[in-house]
Structure 1
Amino acid sequence: MHRYFFELEPGLKIRLSIKLISLVLAAAAIAMTLVTGCGDSPQAEVPSTPSKADVLPPTVTPTPPASEFAPIGQPEPSAIDDLELIDLDGWINSSPLSVDDLIGSGQVVLLDFWTYTCINCVRTFPYLSAWYETYAEHGLTVIGVHSPEFEFEKLPLNVQRSVERYDLTYPVALDGNKETWDRYGNHFWPSKYLIGASGEVVFRHFGEGGYDQTESVIRTELEAAGNDLSRVARSSVAEPRRSDAAHTITRELYGGYKNNYLADGLYAGQDVYYEAPDVEVEYSDDGTRRRGQFYLDGVWMNLVNAVVTANRSEADSTYFAFDFFATSVNAVLGNSEPTPAGAGEDGRLVVVELDGRPLSQDEAGADIEWDSAGNSVVRVKETRLYQIASLPEFGKHELKLTTNSEGLAVYTITFGIFEFGP
């Protein structure tokens, strides 16, 4: 089976399973469907000719939440016969919990399917934490179900480090093989399922947004279960404000060939990338830039989920460059093989340039530092999501990631259009 990703609505990833034997026919049908479905969206760019290496496919939807950009609404829910969490690899912040036992004791349960490299998931953490802090003593149990996208996200230590980094205090279940994900028929990061005290799923929300509605349903279900909330104020979270100047946004970029070889892929802007998988290629960047694509210089190897530097000596330098429309840039960087966080690496130094110069203090993301020469750099010590740029204003820019380190893997690049935050 081949898994096919695209964004259905802001902050929403959908996974469709397509048999390899029918990939060619299915890809053509899907490409036509995407063009038709997004034609009325402000983000849609419908090409007049079929997609090929020098013609960018349409952006389905932007990454950040903005309901006016959504081409269609929330997907129709499917029945879930058994709500128990199964085949877990362990728990963080809690001893093992049972949905059946929680419901039997009168609890209302909120499940959040997430993965730690998903910027859309990260943006929902303040709301989940606020609901947990506000309603835990009034009958709400929040459980984060960590269902990984990449192999390195299956390592419990890596998830533990991420839970600590984002200061998550509610229980987290490790769904490393995605058995619970499959039981719920889930396809999205992030996804929320609210299970009432009746033992039924009473509410679902896929992607970012819908926070007021979600909290309202939580309160309704808690009150229906006999909890008095008359003196419990609603939670208060400062919601990020979309930049007024933002009229579009660059799609998520994937380094690996699993997504590049698909009908709506073509994230790599150089034809040589597509000649063969799992091979070292010396790229030469001629300065061409097309929206929604990245460009390489130096020796790189294209792997299934990432593109990886293959520098032959420290004197060699490679870079990964792209133009973008956004206010923030985030990158999943690290090793090409699953490696536990804190495994003794000194880290790989990556120089970050915005429009040919170092990032300034008010443009830098949370993971940027500066070396003695004044270069803005990110030190990649583990495979995770790095916050690269957080610009004061929306606009079009070029970003370049340069390194002389061998084995630096670039998995994905994501973008935001908020006035603050990732």
Structure 2
Amino acid sequence: MTRTAELPVEGVLPPLDGATTWLNSAPLTPEGLRGRVVAVQFCTFSCINWLRTVPYVTAWAEDYGPGLVVVGAHSPEFPFEHDPENVRPALAAMGIGYPVAVDNDFAIWRAFDNAYWPALYVVDAQGRVRYHHFGEEAYERSERVIRQLLAEAGKDVDPDLVHVEADGVYLAADWPRMGSPETYVGYARATGFASPGGLALDRSRVYPEPARLRLNQWSLSGAWTVGGQAIVLDEPGGRIVHRFRARDVNLVMGGRADGGPVRFRVTLDGEPPRARRGLDVDEDGSGIAREERLHQLIRQDGAIRERTVEITFADAGARAYVFTFG
């Protein structure tokens, strides 16, 4: 096994008793975890940056257990991510069976002095934090740290690193060609809004579309109420339009507040996406939003250039939070 550089001690595993509930496990404690290597990862289930780490972290949990205990700390970004009955099926659908602390009060987040989704902290068998990584990537480096700490604890380690073939929403971003940042549509963090007259805060307004959009601008059409974190469509037929440059376009959104579905249709430069469709739309661009989550709208192959994506909603009640890209 190739040994990583000597790992400094960065602190100790803090208490985990701030969780509001636990999924897949009884509550865990630093004392109960002593003797095993622990990987704590902060997550929130609609975050594309975290989703792209899932195949690697779940592979570590499967391949290196029981010497390694992976612990998810689900610290929610959006209101719908606070409900354990939303979190539970979302994680189960991803095949996540390791313990997850539902950190609705951000108590564990603060105990680690964390500031990022995703964030990974690796703790040795003596309960000392020996490594951290913020964001995506660095999978091989992180795995080698886990292997080194397992070896230090006297655990047998397979000679080979885990093999991961990520696809779908889990596929790594095309970083070299991506030219669009995440774009929040709630007014608390909105950037790039281009409809004439600007955003009307917390009240319904009929928005006109601008004559054109520049790269990384977006607009609304129709009657919408723009809140701090989400926008809600008040009448059928409203649209969201975004000018972007990326392989993938994702939108965190959902159907009506009462759980009812909302039909939508996606176009790319005014045409059905066909082979460029994402996982959540048909070739003609049709889709249905129900539960609030990340929806993959566009996935392109080949040349990447500036394009315009348009989402038209056939039903009122659609809720949207943030565009992300890959």
Partner of 1:228: 156
How far, CA to CA, are the matches of 1:328 and 1:197 in structure 2?
A: 40
Partner of 1:257: 187
Q: Distance in 2 between matches of 1:232 and 1:255?
A: 47
CA contact (8 A) 1:321 1:401 kept: yes
Shift of 1:404: 3.0
Q: CA deviation at 1:268?
A: 1.3
Question: How do residues 3-82 of structure 1 correspond to structure 2 at under 5 angstroms?
Answer: none
**Amino acid paired to 1:200:** R
Deviation track 1:304-335 (CA, whole Å, cap 9, x = no partner) reads 10121111xxxx41100011100111110015
Q: Normalising by the residue count of structure 1, what TM-score does the alignment of the two structures yield?
A: 0.70
Give the equivalent residue in structure 2 for 1:383: 292
- Report if aligned partners of 1:134, 1:235 keep a CA contact under 8 Å in 2: yes
Q: Is the 8 A contact 1:336 1:407 kept in 2?
A: yes
> What is the letter of the counterpart of residue 162 of structure 1?
A
Q: 8 Å contact 1:99–1:109 — kept in the other structure?
A: no
Give the deviation of 1:248 after TM superposition. 4.1
Q: Does 1:355 align with 2:280?
A: no
Is it true that 1:114 corresponds to 2:114 in the alignment?
A: no
**Shift, 1:232, TM fit:** 4.5
| Residue 413 to residue 241, structure 1, CA distance change in 2 (3 Å) | closer
> Of residues 55, 58, 62 in structure 2, which corresponds to 1:129?
58
Deviation, structure 1 residue 369: 2.7
Choose the corresponding residue for 1:288, options 179, 196, 212: 212
Percent of pairs with identical residues: 32
SS in 1 for 2:247: strand
Q: What RMSD, in angstroms, separates the aligned Cα atoms of the two structures?
A: 2.1
Q: Residue 88 of structure 2 aligns to a residue in which SS?
A: helix
Q: Deviations over 1:230-275 (max 9, x none)?
A: x45321113657659x444211111101012xxxxx331124233x
Secondary structure in 1 aligned to 2:142?
helix
1:192 is aligned to 2:117: no
- The equivalent of 1:27 in structure 2 is none
Which residue identity is paired with 1:406? A
- The worse-fitting range, judged by mean Cα deviation, of 79-88 and 94-103 is 79-88
1:332 paired with 2:252, answer yes
Distance change >3 Å, CA 197–CA 102, structure 1 → 2: same
Q: Could you give the per-residue CA deviations for residues 83-137 of structure 1, whole angstroms, max 9, x where no partner exists? A: 121221222222222222111xx10100000001100100000000111111003
Q: 1:169 aligned to 2:100?
A: no
Superposed structure 1 runs of 4+ greater than 4 Å apart: 77-82, 239-244
**Number of equivalences:** 314
The CA deviation at 1:287 is 3.0
**Partner residue of 2:24 out of 90, 93, 105:** 93
- Structure 1 position 396 matched with structure 2 position 306: yes
Q: Distance in 2 between matches of 1:211 and 1:226?
A: 23
Aligned match of 1:303: 227
Unpaired runs of 5+ residues, structure 2, are 1-7
**1:405 counterpart SS class:** coil
TM-score with structure 2 setting the length = 0.90
Q: Deviations over 1:207-245 (max 9, x none)?
A: 00111110111011001011122x45321113657659x
Secondary structure at the counterpart of residue 197 of structure 2: helix
Aligned to 2:281: 368
Deviation at 1:181, TM superposition (A): 0.6
The answer for unaligned runs of 5 or more in structure 1 is: 1-76, 261-265, 417-422
Contact 1:306/1:336 (CA < 8 Å) preserved in 2? no
* Residues 336 and 249 of structure 1, relative CA distance in 2, 3 Å threshold: farther
Of residues 235, 241, 247, the one that matches 1:321 is: 241
Alignment check: 8 A CA contact 1:323 1:397 kept = yes
Distance across 2 between alignment mates of 1:330 and 1:365: 8
Is the contact between residue 10 and residue 130 of structure 2 (CA under 8 Å) also seen in structure 1? no
